[in-house]
Every structure is written in C-alpha cells, then in structure tokens.
C-alpha cells in the first residue's frame, strides 16, 4: 500500500530542495509529484510560487530519515507521521476564485448528463445555489450564451469519487421511488439497463481522463528530451567552433 503524501506536497518539496541534499527522484517520490515539477522548482521556474513547509517540524520526517536519504540516493523516504485529514462538514464547498467562473459549465454538464441528480446534490457537489442551477436549467442565466457543458472533475470543481457517489446516490433514490409493477422482471430490466449505461459512461469518462493525463506526461517527457538534445547540440557546436579557432592559430 502506497504511503500517504505530505499535507502540502509542493511546499514540502520546495523546502526539501532548499534545505537538504536529497535527489529530485527522492523528493518527487516522497511528495507524490512528477520529477519535472521538482526540477522546475529547483530551477526557480515554479519554486517562487510556494513557501517552503518544514516536514520535520510537522513530524512527517525526521533529521535521521533525511540523512539516510542523503547518504543513499536509492533510499525511499518513509513517512513518519501521516498528516491528519481535514474535512469540512458544514457550510458550502469553497471554490478558488480562479475556478468560480467554471461553475456554470460544470452545472450544465451535470444537468445534461445526470438529470437524476437533485439540485441539493449539485449545490453540495459544485458549491452553488438553487437559483443558479434553475437559471442554467431554464436557460435564463445572464451568461447562458457562453456556457459550455464541461466535466466538473476535469474543471477541478469536484473529485471523481464525489461525482460517482452523487450519481450512485441519485440512481438509488430514483430506483426506490419508481412504482413497483406486478411483473418483477419487467420492472427490473430497465433499471439494470439504465445502471449499465451509467456505468459505461463513467468508465468512458475515466478512460478519457487517463488518456489525457498520459498524453500530457508523454508530451512533457518529449519536451524535456528535446531540450536536452538542443543543449547537447549547442555544446557540441561550441566545441567545434573552439577547435576550429585553435587549428587556425
């Protein structure tokens, strides 16, 4: 079973880069990040966005554990104290300012693909109000011409697990409210077929997200390799020019 990641992975990685001799691979593995993210922090491409967080102070690491990693680059750091999960049980879901403009697109997607989900569930899932949901449903929203249905998971408005749980809960409630027919088989077949269709849709969406993530990772690796080759070619060209000058002299 994979060990938990630090409470603030990027901030922890930034601190480890600045204060330890651990390799990028060790830091990336411990923080649950891609090695390219860690390299970007080390090159000051992204590190300025994060304030370092000391994992020793929080108890997630010890000085002895860090020393083991510094002495052996192949050593995998062990989480000493897993961070405590913090969850909110009351109040609306908080959505970062940068994501709030995406809410209407996420709401429209749910209304189109999962009409069985109640307004209360949508409000809890996306962090919105019934008035906004109704305005998008009846197309009276002030910005309805610019609203494009988009998967709320892809937009970062909720997790796949939360969306799947809401879909399952809505399906269970709809099945319980459906009038029972005398012929049990006649009633059961459409319900099973509907569930199968929903499961297939969920699997299709998961596959699309996994393919997009894989393509992004591959593109990043290809870009890194191309940058390395360009640097190598430039270095070889510089050496060739130097050699030519020496021979002429």
Measured between alpha carbons, how far is 205 from 221 in angstroms, rounded to an integer? 25
Query: What phi and psi values does residue 59 have, to the nearest 5 degrees?
Result: 90, 5
Residue 47 pLDDT? 43
Residue 158 pLDDT? 86
Average pLDDT for 82-91: 58
- pLDDT tens for 94-107 read 555 556 688 999 99
Q: Convert 217-228 to b/e letters by CB count within 10 Å (16 or more is b).
A: eeeeeeeeeeee
Residues in the chain: 249
For the four alpha carbons of 239, 240, 242 and 247, in that order, the dihedral sign comes to positive
Question: Residue 7 burial (CB < 10 Å; 0-12/13-18/19+)?
Answer: middle
Tokens of residue 155, six digits: 């937009």
- pLDDT tens for 28-41 read 999 998 998 888 88
- pLDDT tens for 113-137 read 999 999 999 988 888 899 999 999 9
Residue 181 pLDDT? 47
Q: Which helix (H) or strand (E) is 130 found in, with range?
A: helix 130-137
pLDDT band at residue 245, thresholds of 50, 70 and 90? Answer: low
Highest mean pLDDT among 40-49, 153-162, 225-234: 153-162
Average pLDDT for 171-180: 75
Question: Residue 184 burial (CB < 10 Å; 0-12/13-18/19+)?
Answer: exposed
Average pLDDT for 78-94: 64
């Amino acid at each position: 079973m994979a060990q938990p990641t630090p409470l603030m992975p990027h901030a922890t990685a930034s601190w480890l880069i600045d204060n330890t001799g651990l390799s990028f691979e060790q830091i990336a593995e411990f923080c649950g990040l891609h090695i390219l993210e860690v390299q970007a922090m080390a090159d000051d491409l992204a590190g300025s966005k994060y304030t370092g967080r000391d994992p020793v102070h929080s108890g997630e690491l010890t000085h002895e554990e860090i020393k083991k990693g510094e002495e052996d680059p192949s050593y995998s750091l062990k989480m000493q104290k897993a961070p405590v999960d913090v969850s909110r049980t009351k109040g609306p879901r908080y959505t970062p300012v940068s994501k709030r403009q995406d809410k209407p697109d996420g709401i429209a997607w749910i209304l189109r693909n999962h009409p069985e989900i109640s307004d209360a569930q949508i409000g809890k899932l996306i962090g919105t109000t019934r008035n906004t949901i109704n305005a998008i449903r009846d197309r009276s929203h002030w910005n309805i011409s610019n609203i494009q249905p988009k998967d709320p998971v892809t937009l970062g408005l909720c997790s796949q697990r939360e969306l799947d749980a809401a879909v399952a809960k809505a399906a269970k409630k709809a099945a319980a409210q459906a009038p029972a027919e005398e012929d049990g088989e006649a009633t059961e077949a459409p319900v099973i077929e509907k569930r199968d269709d929903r499961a297939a849709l969920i699997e299709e969406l998961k596959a699309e997200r996994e393919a997009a993530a894989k393509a992004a990772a591959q593109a990043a690796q290809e870009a890194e390799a191309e940058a390395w080759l360009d640097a190598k070619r430039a270095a070889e060209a510089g050496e060739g020019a130097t050699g030519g000058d020496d021979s002429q002299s």
